[in-house]
Structure 1
Amino acid sequence: MISNLVGGTLLDAMGASSIIWLLVLGNLLHTTASFFLPADPRLIDNRTLGKGARLDWKQLSQFVQPGFWLILCSISTIQASHSLLYAFGTIYWREIGISANMTGIFWSISVFAEVILLFFSKKLLGRITWRALLIIGAVTAVARWVIMPIQLPEYGFLILQMFHAGSFACSHLGAMFFISETVDDEISGTAQGLYTMLNGLTMSLATFASGFFYGRFDGDAFYLMATFGLVSLAMLALARLFPVGHIGAGKVDNTEPSA
């Protein structure tokens, strides 16, 4: 959040040519800080890190369930709807006359809203289902991208950026809650890896397409991002036709997790 605010101020003062040097400085600070990270407590007493259970094909094949992948695709589609904002949000705001300093505040407030929701995530666990979180994420994404092309006053975009807590954070929490309920802890890393892989693939394709969309439609391209939320809701509804069995390190349990 601080870097967004400082970056916007410096961009206003130094111009667009300073961006590359700001990125270089940020990476140097990141690298320097990594040398001061505390040691892993499991290594202080010369203890080795434990190895996870080895997976055989029978265990991995449990992930080959249509419902499991439909839900992951639904989540990844919500996340991919942010691609246009990430790639062209700053350019869009500058083109409609918003300063780089205020743009930095826009980015900061979205991160702030996300962090606040994630901070209280443990209190949400058990009170709201993963499916409800995904529905909130998709609906918020639709509303966010439908409003985005409207040339709002600065405070309007400031409020709209708070929707990030819904479109991004709720969908991410829904993914984590879904994996937690569906997959045993011993192989949850595999499930998260599959989710990350699919999320990265979907986001990269959407980002590539965003360049074409923005070049052709400018800010109206956000309406196309709204359709991603609708597609996500459709996949989430379709997933109900394919119950997801519990995925464990041992035997398969065909009981669908609560939603």
Structure 2
Amino acid sequence: MTQDPTAPRRTGRRIGRAALAALLVVVLIAVVFLAWAHTVMAGDRDAALEVWTDDAIEVTETSDSFVLRPTAGGSDHGLVFIPGARVQPFAYARNLAGVVEDAGVTVVVTKPTLNLAFFDTRSLAAFAAAAPEVDSWTVGGHSLGGVRACQLAAGDDSVEVTGLVLLGSYCANDLSASALSVLSVSGTNDGLTTPEDVESNAGLLPQDTEYVVLDGGNHADFGDYGAQPGDGESTLPRDAVRAEITAALVGLLG
């Protein structure tokens, strides 16, 4: 039988077309993912302006974060806070401003890589550098940001970490034997980090963890960014949420 001399070329073309098709699929997936990651839940403008115009707070911004500092009577303690997935960082400013005003704590809110904390490989020290005047730190976060905060709280030899704050979140790594002071604030109507989620992961936290439950609170109550798909309905006024979060944070950090 005579071998077709064009067969190898045809086979090569088929392989080339298949490889090109696979590459195009990968590129399409990447483009769709990047578009999704950069479609953030925007913070409420009025809530942000309330913080920007507050005489008790100085707001500065870096490429990695924005910082809320007390204009007077600052303490030597700070909070590095990691936003939830695809939530604009400044959406948390109003709920975090209370601990700046009432306890003099400096708050650094991070800007996660691709707006997703799991893709952010920067160390806690990288964010603490935004406030070199602070001596010791608590790390915290909302939702996926809280999961990442647990990882950072596990240890950074260059930064003194004394506490952990979880807002509508829980740990995926075991911190039960740590000496951290831990605060967990959750909502009874949270449809994304449910009360069952918080309870089932409680064993990963120290036994003396303080639990604060917002009766009627949902997942989106922890920031000012509007409704979130899959969430429950909140029955709490915004000011009541802010007051409860402030009281809990001052109790831990004040």
After TM superposition, is the score higher than 0.5? no
Structure with higher helix content: 1
Q: Relative contact order (alpha carbons < 8 A, sep ≥ 6): 1 or 2 greater?
A: 1
TM-score normalized by the length of structure 2 = 0.24
TM-score normalized by the length of structure 1 = 0.23
